[in-house]
Amino acid sequence: MEIQGLVFPSRDTCVAETLAISDEPGTSEVLVRNRFSLISAGTELAMFTETHRGFAEPDFGYAKYPFRPGYAAVGEVLAVGEGVSELAPGARVFHRKRHATHALLGCDDLLPVPDGVPEKHAPFLAMVQIAMSAVRQAPVYFGENALVLGMGLVGNLCAQLCGLAGAGQVAAADLAAPRLAQALACGVDLAFNLSEKPLADWLPELGPRGANFVVEAVGSGPTIDLAIKAAADHGRVVLLGSPRDKLELDPYFDIHRTGVHLIGAHASTVDAATRAQDMPFIWSLLAKGRINVAPLVTHVLPYTQGQTAYEGLRDRKDEYLGVLLEYP
């Protein structure tokens, strides 16, 4: 059968390519008709704009064109191959494969979507798991003040997780007023608009404790520097956003003298067993609305409008945040 999937053939270009896959799953395989997939505005946008680290390094195979984006999709099982007993046609499933109309996958690559999780919310599982890597690497202690810089999807979700983990106050910082409004709608306590005044001028609103737990969710050198300088003495700064550039630090005054801990939190820093154990918990958060993703869905576009979706995320950050691609 013929299917279509999105591909970046070159910088700032997204098109649909036609592929052929079997419509008869083999042993332990499952054929899925996708319904929605969620764009990762961090990694995917960096690949779309050629700003991801590694493009200039010949031995780094990931950052190369053509690039086939996508790793958060929900769909319906159409057929199963021999040896598949856990899934049946009609079942709703989540998977981490590309933006495409269909997928032919091993049954181990699929997760059943529990009842109670709306279809448009299921793809957010991947983003919540990434956001959770911050609190897995550096737990939030009860009563601490948490500050998250960058209210993209991962930053917003991380801020919500900080509140669930017991933070006394959670502050969101961003340049975009609409993203801060979305954070407040999701239950974050404080919104620091950095287009109105510098972060240092906002920090007194946290009270005398200051920012004990700071998460940088942008991946920008200047924002990382801001995060380190914002941390209270003996605080923890977690780099959750994938850094896109290099920067100079003042390790003596900003880290050594203050006792600040600087911690990396790429998704791969959490071991596979822990990630697997987290899955039922994340599903329950989505099903019960304890993680609120409804305000984050700003656009639902046909997959054929992939170019529009990525351009919107690149150029209109006040409007585009959670972009779902829909498949017929």
Give 276-305 pLDDT, tens digit per residue.
999 999 999 999 999 999 999 999 999 999
**Residues 150 and 109 both lie in one domain:** no
Q: Do the Cβ atoms of 98 and 6 come closer than 8 Å?
A: yes
Please indicate, yes or no, whether residues 265 and 301 belong to a single structural domain of this protein.
Answer: no
Instruction: Return the CATH number at 95.
Output: 3.90.180.10
The single-letter code of the amino acid at 130 is I
Question: 103-112, 269-278, 296-305: which range is least confident on average?
Answer: 269-278
Q: How would you label 49-77 residue by residue, b for 16+ Cβ within 10 Å and e otherwise?
A: eeebbebeeeeeeebeeebebbbbbbbbb
H/E element, 313: helix 306-315
For residues 17-25, give the mean pLDDT: 96
Residue 172: its H or E element: strand 169-174
Q: Supply the DSSP string of 6-73, one letter for each residue.
A: EEB-STT--EEEEEE--SS--TTEEEEEEEEEE--TTHHHHHHTT-STTTT-TT--SS-SSB-----E
Specify whether 255 is located in the same domain as 149: yes
What pLDDT sits at residue 267? 86
How far is 249 from 101, CA to CA, in rounded Å? 45
Q: What percent of the chain has pLDDT over 70?
A: 100
The answer on 252 and 181 residing in a single domain is: yes
Same domain, 143 and 75: no
Mean pLDDT of all residues in the chain?
95
Residues 134 and 95 in one domain: no
Cα(283)–Cα(250) distance, integer angstroms? 41
Q: How far apart are CA 157 and CA 163, in angstroms?
A: 10
Q: Is pTM beyond 0.85 here?
A: yes
Q: Of all helices (H) and strands (E), which one includes residue 185?
A: helix 177-185
Task: Look at the chain and report how many structural domains it folds into.
Answer: 2
Q: Same domain, yes or no, for 256 and 148? A: yes
Q: State both tokens at 298.
A: 């700003």
The string of pLDDT tens digits covering residues 114-155 is 999 999 999 999 999 999 999 999 999 999 999 999 999 999
Domain span holding position 14: 2-121+293-326
CATH code, domain with 183:
3.40.50.720
Of the pLDDT bands very low, low, confident and very high (cuts 50, 70, 90), residue 75 is: very high
Number of C-beta neighbours around residue 243 at 10 A: 16
Strand order in the sheet with 145-149: 190-193, 169-174, 145-149, 211-216, 231-239, 261-264
Q: Which amino acid is at 163?
A: G
